[in-house]
Structure 1
Amino acid sequence: MITTAQFYHHFLENPTVSTDTRNITPGCIFFALKGDHFNANEFAAQALEKGASFVVIDEEIYAINEKCLLVEDVLTALQNLARYHREQLNIPVIGLTGSNGKTTSKELVNAVLTERFKTFATFGNLNNHIGVPLSILSITHDVEIAVIEMGANHQKEIELLCSIAQPTHGIITNVGMAHLDGFGGFEGVKKGKAELYAYLKENNGYTFINRDNAHLMEMSATSGLNKLIYYGTENGNTIKGNLKSSDPFIEVEWTNHDVSSVVKTNLTGSYNFENILAAICIGDFFDMNPEEINIGLANYQPKNNRSQLTKTDHNTVICDFYNANPSSMTAALNNIAVLSADKKSAILGDMFELGPESNLQHEKIAKQAFDSGLNQLILIGKYFYALKDQFDALFFETPAEAAAYIQQNPIENHLVLLKGSRGMKLESLLQYL
C-alpha cells in the first residue's frame, strides 16, 4: 500500500484530481470512489486510456499496471491527501458553515477578499466529505487566503471536514430548520454546526459571530471561544451595520472605528443583510479599507438561483430555488411581503429532509404564504398537496402539472417568488413565467 507522503509526491507532479471519468484531463489523478450504486474501480482502465497519470483504487483486481495506486479505501486516501496538502499551506483558511446562506456568504467573502488578496473559494457547493477534500487539493501555493464552505446533514460531519480543512478562522452564518431528519431536530442542528466552534476553540482560531443571533451567542459561550470578532446592528461590535433599503436591492450602511460607509449591492432579500455584514467584518479583520470592501460587494452578481432577481418577458422573478428549508422559506416569504409590486405570486415546492417534522413544517409555511396577501399562491409536491383541503390555493403534485396550468393561465406583470428544495427542480417553471 502506498503511503500518504509517497502519494503526495505523485500529486505535486500531477496536481489535478478527478473523481469522474467524464472529466478526465491529461495528467490528472483519478480517484475511484464507490457509492451505493456504483464502483468506480471498474472504470480505472478507462481513466488511464483517457490520459490520467494515475488511478487510485481499493480493489486489487483492477490493478492493471504500475499506474494503479492501491490503497485500503479510496475515499479515506482522498481525504488524507487533502489533509496532508493543507498542512503544507501556511495561509489563513476561513471555514464557513450554517443552515442558510452558506454559499452566498462564501461568495460575498470571496468577492471582498479578492479585492486585495489572491483568494481561493469553494467552487459551487463542493462542501461535503468529498467536495471539501477536492476543494483543498485545488488550492495552489500562490493562494494567500482560502474560504472553504462546509455543509452537513448529520452530526460529526463538520468535525470531519474541519480535520481536513483545518480552518484558522471560522463563521457559522446561522442555525435553522434544515436537515432535521439527519441531525435529529433543531437542537441536533445546533450541536452539529457547533463542531466548527469546538475545532476553533481547540486550535486557538478566530471566530466571526453575528451578535444579533441569540443561538450563535449561546453556542459560542458554550464552546468557550476566546478569539471573537463580532458584527451586528448594535454598538459594541467590531462592525455595526443597518439595512438602509432592500426594495428590491440591498443597501447597507456600516461603521467601524467611527467611520461610516454605504454600499449598494445587487442582492435582493433582506435576509442577506447579515451575510453582507459578515463579509464586511471578515474583510475588515484582514485590514482591508472600506473602499476595497465596498467595491467587492457592489461588484458581486448573485448567481446559481440564490436570491437572484430575474426579469422575464412577463414578470420579475425571485429565483431562489436552489434549495429550501422552513427557515429560508419563512425569510423568503417575509421578504416578498415587504417588496413593492402591484401584483405578487409565490410558487413554492416541497422541502426535503425534514423527517417527522415534514407535515407540520409544510403546514406552517402554507399558512404563512396564505396569510401573506399574495395575489396567487401555487404549492407543489406531495407534502404541500396533502394540504389541498385546508387552504385556498392552487395545489399540484408535480412541477409538470403546475407548468401545464401556468401555460393555460399565464402569470403576467407579477413579482413572483419561485422557491423549493433542489430535488423539486422548479427551474423547469421559469420558462413559463
Structure 2
Amino acid sequence: MTIEELHALFLAYPKICTDTRKISENCLFFALKGPNFNGNAFAQDALDKGAAFTIIDEEAFSTSDKTILCQDVLKTLQELATYHRNHCKAKVISLTGSNGKTTTKELINSVISKKYKTIATQGNLNNHIGVPLTLLSIKEDTEIAIVEMGANHQKEIEFLCNITQPDFGYITNFGKAHLEGFGGVEGVIKGKSEMYDYLTSHNKYVFLNADDQIQKEKLDSYTKKIGFSTSDHQYYNIKFLGIDPYVVLEAEGTRINTQLIGKYNFPNCCAAILMGKYFNVPLQDIKLAIEAYQPQNNRSQILSKNGFNIVLDAYNANPTSMKAALENFASMDSSQKSIIIGDMFELGTTASEEHQTIADLTEELKFDNVYLVGENFFGIKTSFNKFKSFDDLKEHLEKKPLEKGTLLIKGSRGMALERVLDIL
C-alpha cells in the first residue's frame, strides 16, 4: 500500500492508536516496536478491540485482510504524518529549546486560538513518535498547528523538522539540558540551532528573542525574522514590569498580569504576544489569553496545602532551569523558605560538578531549610540535609516534619518529587 492509499484510509478512519490499552473504535493501530515490546504481537488484539485496520511490519502477524504490511511501521507513521501535513492547509509553527517549551507552546496556543482554529502538541509528545501524532491531529479546518520538538542529541531537531516542514519556528533558549547526549553546551546550541538551519535554508520565517545574544548573532544576516526585545527598537518592544508575585509586563501601553511565576517566564509570554501580533490577534484578546493561562502538570504551579505555600516545579530540571527557579524563589517575599530539590539527569561527566554548583548557589541564597534528594546530590560536599533516595527523604520528614511556610519543590522527571505533597 502506498502512502497516498494509506492516507486515504486515514481520512476514512482518522484516529491513530499505538497502544492496545487505549484502542478506540475504528482507529488505525500502528504496531510500533520498543526496547521491551513488539507491537506486531498485539495487532490481532487491536482488531479484536475495535480497530479498523492494523499496520504491521512482520508478516508472521498478518492475520486478516484488515492487516496492512509495510517495511517499517515507525517510518510509515512518519511518512504518513508528513503527507497529511502537506495535504492540509494549516500553517505550522515549530518550537524547541532547552527550557520552557511546553509552557510557551501552551501560551502561543492560548493566544492564537482566540482568532484561529488551532491544534497543538498534547502534553510533551514532542519526539519522533509524538511529532507525527501531532501532525496527524491536524484537521481539514485547522488553520494553525503549533508543534513542540524535543531533542537530546544532535540531528534530532533536523530530523523532526524534515518530518514537520514548518512555516515558522522559535527557539525558547539554549541551556544546560541533555548535556550527555549533546556533548556539552556548545553541542546544545548546535543541536537546537538545527531548527534555524532548516528554516533559513527553506526561506521560512523565524521568531526570535532579540535580547538573547546567541539567537541574535545566529540570525544576524537573515531577513525573514520577527523578534521581540525589551530595548532594541527595531523589534517589537515589551516591558518587564516586575513580579507581584507573578510576572507583570506591558505591550503597547497595555498592562498584562500573568499567572506565571519567575522572570524566566517573561520571554515565554513575549513569544506568545509576538506571534499573536504577527497573526493579527487583537491586543486585548492577547491580554485575555495570557492572563487566563494557568500552568499545570507540576510546572511552576502555586499550591496551598496544610499551611504550606508551595511552588511545585517538579516536571523537570536541568542546571539552567534549577538556577533560575532557585533565584526566583529567593526573591519571593516570604518569611520561612524551604526547598526540596532533586537530581538533574542526563548531565554525563559534568553531573557532579553541576550538582555541586547548584548546592553552592543554594548556600549563597540562604534558605531556611534545604533538602537535597538523589544519588548525585548525595555524592557532593555540602552541609545541607541530603538523601540518597526519595524513601530516605520520606522517612526523615515523617520523623521531623517540615516547618510550615513557603516551599519550592523541583527536580528531574525521574525523581517524581511531586510525591512530597503526600507527606507534608
Which residue in the other structure is 1:374 paired with? 367
Mean alpha-carbon deviation: is it higher for 243-252 or for 116-125? Answer: 243-252
8 Å CA contact retained: 2:345, 2:412: yes
| Mapped partners of 1:411, 1:316: distance in 2 | 12
Structure 1 residue 236 corresponds to structure 2 residue 227: no
Identify the match of residue 394 of structure 1 among 360, 380, 385.
385
| Matched residue type, 2:347 | L
| Mapped partners of 2:219, 2:33: distance in 1 | 37
| Matched residue type, 2:240 | L
Per-residue deviation, 1:237:
4.3
Which residue in the other structure is 1:70 paired with? 69
| Mapped partners of 1:71, 1:202: distance in 2 | 32
SS at structure 1 position matched to 2:258: strand
User: What do the CA deviations read for 1:247-286 (whole angstroms, capped 9, x no partner)?
Assistant: 321111123xxxx111111111111011001110010011
8 Å CA contact retained: 1:91, 1:146: yes
Gap change, CA 1:297 and 1:237, over 3 Å in 2: farther
Which residue in the other structure is 2:90 paired with? 91
Mean alpha-carbon deviation: is it higher for 197-206 or for 279-288? Answer: 197-206
Identify the match of residue 341 of structure 2 among 321, 343, 348.
348
Which residue in the other structure is 1:56 paired with? 55
Identify the match of residue 414 of structure 1 among 405, 409, 424.
405
8 Å CA contact retained: 1:128, 1:151: yes
User: What do the CA deviations read for 1:14-49 (whole angstroms, capped 9, x no partner)?
Assistant: 000010000100100001011111111000000000
Per-residue deviation, 1:345:
1.0
| Matched residue type, 1:226 | T
| Mapped partners of 2:259, 2:354: distance in 1 | 31
| Mapped partners of 1:237, 1:334: distance in 2 | 31
Matches for 1:299-314 after TM superposition, within 5 Å: 299-314=292-307
| Matched residue type, 2:63 | I
Matches for 1:21-420 after TM superposition, within 5 Å: 21-221=20-220, 225-255=222-252, 260-387=253-380, 390-420=381-411
| Mapped partners of 1:385, 1:286: distance in 2 | 49
| Matched residue type, 1:22 | R
User: Sequence identity of aligned pairs in percent?
Assistant: 46
| Count of residues in correspondence between the two structures | 424
8 Å CA contact retained: 2:131, 2:164: yes
| Matched residue type, 1:419 | K
Per-residue deviation, 1:409:
1.9
Per-residue deviation, 1:7:
0.7
Which residue in the other structure is 1:8 paired with? 7
Per-residue deviation, 1:331:
0.5
| Matched residue type, 1:397 | K
| Matched residue type, 1:79 | Q
| Mapped partners of 1:391, 1:64: distance in 2 | 61
| Mapped partners of 1:37, 1:187: distance in 2 | 33
| Mapped partners of 2:235, 2:354: distance in 1 | 36
SS at structure 1 position matched to 2:33: coil
Per-residue deviation, 1:91:
2.1
**Structure 2: gaps of 5 or more residues:** none
SS at structure 2 position matched to 1:245: strand
Structure 1 residue 430 corresponds to structure 2 residue 421: yes
Per-residue deviation, 1:396:
0.4
Mean alpha-carbon deviation: is it higher for 199-208 or for 171-180? Answer: 199-208
Per-residue deviation, 1:245:
2.4
User: What do the CA deviations read for 1:286-306 (whole angstroms, capped 9, x no partner)?
Assistant: 111210100000111110111
